[in-house]
Amino acid sequence: MASKNVQITDDLSSVLDRFFFDRNYTQVAVLVDENTEQACLPLVKDLIPEHWLISIVSGESNKNLSTCESIWGALTEGSFDRHSLMINLGGGVIGDMGGFCAATFKRGIDFINIPTTLLSQVDASVGGKLGIDFQGFKNHIGVFKDPELVIIDPVFLKSLPNKELRSGFAEAIKHCLIADRKRWDEISQKNLDTQNWVDIIGHSVAVKEDIVAGDPFEKGQRKLLNFGHTIGHAIESTYLDRGEERLLHGEAIAIGMICESYLSKKKSGLQETELNEIVSYINRIFGLPQLDKEAFEEMVELISQDKKNQGKVINCTLLKTIGEGVVNIPISTGDVIDALFYYNQLSDK
Ligand SMILES: NC(=O)c1ccc[n+]([C@@H]2O[C@H](COP(=O)([O-])OP(=O)(O)OC[C@H]3O[C@@H](n4cnc5c(N)ncnc54)[C@H](O)[C@@H]3O)[C@@H](O)[C@H]2O)c1
Ligand SMILES: [Zn+2]
């Protein structure tokens, strides 16, 4: 189950009471964006001590140094000392950036994360990775540090747009595919609207914690978590500047998981029936939007440059079977192209 620093609860009030019971923070700041200020802050603000509110503009494009400056500026203006606390109330952008600001302000103040998107609850809340984007590179500047506490309450999902919910669900699907056949069988019987979020979040957190615990600095097994991400990231990046067509992270990862399942059949023993099962469920939840084949070359280019490769070989995380991932399987650029064409022809059928 989840460790003591991640609490999944439907009773925010008592978790926060317990947390503050024996702590004496000189000051408390709450970091929100305009959406979480409106939808999430009302559920939290009366449960915490008197605090400063720091509100930033939502969106990945603001996860940068200049927003950090404004956050550090607000803490400085409020005369925050080293015995103060920051509460990050929001999705992965707030968690990553707020955590980074807290971890570096005066060489580090305590912080707690209250993730409010499914993606941040099942993924970003575990693993201690904090950071910001820099000069077009994602998560380029950052540190590893665990929050004092992560409080996950599915109540926040009620106000989350359905597209964001679905995007986060891709990571939960991934956790089943790499680590838990039985759980895959359970979730893949259901649509998005009938899933049990408490169970799903608990499971995802446990799987991720387990993998991260064995490899805190991403030397080996942690790469299991990259399933769907080698090709998925490249798709996400290629579609970043496409306005309406732009894909949310999880939407791109869902396509990446189909492509990498196809490669798993080719390279690491995944059975054809399993591949079809994965394709069919991802289709049911996400559909199979066609990719622009003019962009395939750019995707391959991005994958070849990925910092996770060693030399020219693309190392990919694939599946041996549903419920068991395998890291460092070498694939070629030709394999990537093959997988992208495989994906595109699925919706022609
Ligand atoms: N640290 C990690 O290990 C890790 C892992 C995965 C992703 N991430 C990072 O997480 C970020 C993406 O996270 P995200 O998808 O949560 O994005 P996000 O923080 O941008 O949130 C998505 C949108 O939902 C809104 N929102 C948040 N909670 C809401 C709620 N309860 N009701 C209504 N609206 C709400 C936000 O304002 C935003 O517009 C990326 O920057 C990614 O790099 C980090
Ligand atoms: Zn991801």
Q: What is the DSSP string of 266-326?
A: HHS---HHHHHHHHHHHHHHH--PPP-GGGHHHHHHHHHH-TTSBTTBEEEEEEEETTEEE
Please give the distance, rounded to the nearest whole angstrom, from the Cα atom of residue 329 to the centre of ligand 1. 30
35 lines ligand 1 (CB under 6 A): yes
Domain 165-346 has CATH 1.10.10.10: no
What confidence tier does 136 reach under pLDDT thresholds 50, 70, 90? confident
**Average confidence score pLDDT of the chain:** 95
Q: What percent of the chain has pLDDT over 90?
A: 88
Q: What percent of the chain has pLDDT over 70?
A: 97
Ligand nearest the Cα of residue 232 is 2
Model confidence at 181: pLDDT above 80: yes
What top-level class would CATH report for the domain 6-158? Answer: alpha beta
Average pLDDT of span 238-252? 91
What confidence tier does 223 reach under pLDDT thresholds 50, 70, 90? very high
pTM (two decimals): 0.95
Model confidence at 334: pLDDT above 90: yes
If you compute the radius of gyration of the chain from its CA atoms, what whole number of angstroms results?
Answer: 20
pLDDT of residue 2: 47
Q: Is 348 helix (H, G, I), strand (E, B) or coil?
A: coil
* Nearest atom of ligand 1 to the alpha carbon of 118: 16
Q: Are 313 and 252 in contact (CB under 8 A)?
A: no
For 178-188, letters b (16+ CB in 10 Å) and e give bbbeebbebbb
Model confidence at 311: pLDDT above 70: no
pLDDT of residue 137: 84
Distances (CA, A) of 190 to 36, 120, 197: 29, 22, 12
Model confidence at 4: pLDDT above 90: no
Q: Could you tell me where the beta strands, DSSP code E, fall in 3-148?
A: 6-8, 28-33, 52-56, 85-90, 110-115, 129-134, 137-144
DSSP string, 212-251: HHT-TTSSSGGGGGGTTHHHHHHHHHHTTT-GGG---HHH
DSSP string, 93-129: HHHHHHHHHHHHGGG--EEEEEE-SHHIIIIITSS-E
pLDDT of residue 259: 98
63 lines ligand 1 (CB under 6 A): yes
The answer for residues whose C-beta is within 8 angstroms of residue 171's C-beta and 6 or more apart is 119, 122, 123, 204, 250, 253
Same fold, 6-158 and 165-346: no
Average pLDDT of span 220-243? 93
Please give the Cα distance from 22 to 11 (Å, whole number): 19
Ligand 1 atom 13, closest CA: 92
Average pLDDT of span 187-211? 96
Ligand 1 atom 5, closest CA: 124
Ligand 1 atom 41, closest CA: 93
pLDDT of residue 125: 87
117 lines ligand 1 (CB under 6 A): yes
58 lines ligand 1 (CB under 6 A): yes
Tokens describing residue 138:
């994602």
43 lines ligand 1 (CB under 6 A): no
What tens digit of pLDDT does each residue of 116-130 get? Answer: 999 999 999 899 999
What tens digit of pLDDT does each residue of 250-291 get? Answer: 999 999 999 999 999 999 999 999 999 999 999 999 999 999
Give the residue extent of every domain in the chain: 6-158, 165-346
pLDDT of residue 1: 42
Please give the Cα distance from 226 to 211 (Å, whole number): 12
